[in-house]
Structure 1
């Protein structure tokens, strides 16, 4: 893994582990007295997290691998080289490029050569 990737991944994890502040008005299920309020707010304002279509953040929900990929890609601001080099059968077409960018950076691997574990 490149030093830049390790640093940014660590910084993102550190921000998420801190307090969260995702504009309390933006997410009805987040409040200022929550432990991670400041971290959520920071990640939201930076455009790294978005919440769900119904406007909630769901702080107790599990994070899927594809959600983690999307957040890391936004944080790292990677560029797609134009060619998908992974052979994961379980990655929907819409996510092929973003999964490939993190795969090529060595940040994510699959469970096997043909399974990424998109929704795990």
Structure 2
């Protein structure tokens, strides 16, 4: 598999911030079904909401290889039934997530 990096899994078309935020818990359970597990999450993640013009967008930022990011995107799409767009993320926008990764696993490549 490729090197891990920051990816955004964007869930599009939510009618409101409230609707976008309502997906956080189900997506969190999808990514980390055992909340009290030992060690780091298999796929480190965080969520935020953005207005992308045509409605609110829940952005699930993850650190994973491109292959794993695509799999996560498909799983999120299947769960939500919404349009899901995968794009590279800017590590500077997700400093807390990147710092968590560094503490748990070491520095990101590159």
- State whether TM-score is above 0.5: no
TM-score (norm 2): 0.27
TM-score (norm 1): 0.26
Of Structure 1 and Structure 2, the greater strand share is in 2
Higher relative contact order (CA 8 A, sep 6+): 2
